[in-house]
Amino acid sequence: MLGSGSKGNAFALLDGNSALLLDAGFSLRELDRRLAAAEIEARSVVGIALTHEHGDHAAGALRFAARQRIPLLTSLGTWQALTNGREPCDFLPLDSRGGAGVGPFTVSCCPTSHDAAEPIAIGVVLADGVSIGVAYDLGRPTQQVRFFLRNRHCLVLEANHDTVLLRTSGYPPVVQERIAGPGGHLSNLDAARLIEEVYHDGLSTIVLAHLSQRCNSGPAARAVVEPVLRSSGFTGALLLAEQSGPMAPVTLRLPEQGTLFGGSQRQRAAAG
């Protein structure tokens, strides 16, 4: 977790000597700084998968990809909105009909509801079967999104705002409606309900991301989501991504074949 919140979002998925960036919502300089702080070499990054073109998700994407000569994996609409007719780096298109492979990562996507050109949720599967779903800035979780997030071993999911804190934030009503509307962001309660719907025994790690600094807090998000998880039988790790800087690496685990999560497990991958 290189950083997540209102001012920028970026995650790094590591497999062996390869890394895949999931969004790059910091300047090139800041992205380099955060990668170095996480002890991830820029030359190990084999691609950048983008959810959409907004600056807090894509600010450093084009420059980093061009410098490292790596592809950008995203929807056609996001690519066009970002590049405006230029081709500064390679483009691997993602759509709901199929995914794209880069290094050890197989990347797929699902359309989401957000006020961007062609926003997507991202799924990544490693060669050994570890599966990660990333969904934020999704306004409303459609049935397609719910299906897309099923059977993932790790979820990075938006818990953007607390409803009460949003209404007392001092934001103008039009901004509040945009945040809480179908093209905006998920509340803590929305996130809890979505997790409850897609929960399964193999889900071992959940990362709550994109917390609003003004309309949410870590304790508020945890207080809503954690009871729902525990009542569902979840015994894994519930983590909150921080805005300030990289967090310690998180090891993802895959249940042994033929066992449910919570039984004997072996290490499969690491998410930074």
pTM above 0.75, yes or no: yes
Residue 77 in contact with residue 90, Cβ under 8 Å? no
Range list of β-strands (E), 78-192 = 91-93, 100-102, 105-111, 120-126, 131-135, 154-158
C-alpha–C-alpha distance, residues 213 and 114, integer Å: 20
Numbers of helices and strands, H then E, in the chain: 9, 14
- What domains appear along the chain, each with residue ranges and CATH number? 10-254 (3.60.15.10)
Using alpha carbons, select from 157, 70, 97 the residue that is nearest to residue 121: 157
Q: State the pLDDT at residue 183.
A: 78
**Contacts of residue 228, Cβ cutoff 8 Å, sequence gap at least 6:** 192, 193, 195, 196
**pLDDT tens digits for range 96-114:** 887 899 999 999 999 998 8
| pLDDT values of the chain reduced to their tens digit, one per residue, 272 residues | 999 998 999 999 999 999 999 999 999 999 999 999 999 999 999 999 999 999 999 999 999 999 999 999 999 999 999 998 888 999 999 998 878 999 999 999 999 988 888 999 999 998 888 999 999 988 888 999 999 999 999 999 999 898 888 888 888 988 888 788 777 889 999 999 999 999 999 999 999 999 999 999 999 999 999 999 989 989 889 999 999 999 999 988 777 643 333 322 323 344 44
Query: Between vectors from CA 76 to CA 71 and to CA 77, what angle results, nearest 5°?
Result: 125
C-alpha–C-alpha distance, residues 241 and 257, integer Å: 30
Per-chain mean pLDDT for the chain: 89
Count the neighbouring beta carbons within 10 Å of the beta carbon of residue 199: 17
The H or E element containing residue 18 is strand 18-24
Dmax (CA) of the chain: 53
Buried b / exposed e over 26-35, threshold 16 CB at 10 Å, is: bebebbeebb
Q: State the pLDDT at residue 140.
A: 85
Q: In this structure, what token pair is assigned to residue 81?
A: 């909105």
Residue 154 in contact with residue 204, Cβ under 8 Å? yes
Residue 221 in contact with residue 211, Cβ under 8 Å? yes
C-alpha–C-alpha distance, residues 166 and 155, integer Å: 24
Q: In this structure, what token pair is assigned to residue 79?
A: 């690519």
